[in-house]
Amino acid sequence: MRISILESLGENIFTRITMKDFLSHISKIKENKVILDFKKVKFISRSCADEFIKFLDITKKDIESINMSSDVSMMLKVVKNSLAALEVSKSDSSSCVVCE
């Protein structure tokens, strides 16, 4: 199944709840293979990118993203790297400081 992000969400994706609702719809689709076409999508906010990346990490569906602009791709990469860095800092207990 192929889904146009432009038709579903528009060319600028701003709110976390919009992305969350969209991804909830995706998770209810019967097909396991889903292609998300980002053609003509100009912008995705950091919060939407965060929702999207976290969804990709937990879903059992085979999700493929195609036709991403460099701006959308860069935002997703930045968020993915931030989440990875956060996981590393959580696992490094020697650098944690407990404040009383």
Q: Domain span at residue 62?
A: 2-73
Q: In the chain, how many domains are there?
A: 1
Structure confidence at residue 86 (pLDDT): 77
Sign of CA dihedral 42, 47, 48, 50: positive
CA pair distance 83, 100, nearest whole angstrom: 27
The answer to whether position 69 is within a domain reads yes
The answer to whether position 88 is within a domain reads no
CA pair distance 57, 79, nearest whole angstrom: 13
pLDDT tens for the chain, 100 residues long, are 999 999 999 999 999 999 999 999 999 999 999 999 999 999 999 999 999 999 999 999 999 999 999 999 999 999 999 888 877 666 655 555 545 4
CA pair distance 22, 8, nearest whole angstrom: 8
Structure confidence at residue 55 (pLDDT): 96
Structure confidence at residue 100 (pLDDT): 45
CB distance 33 to 1 below 8 Å: yes
Q: Record the pTM.
A: 0.82
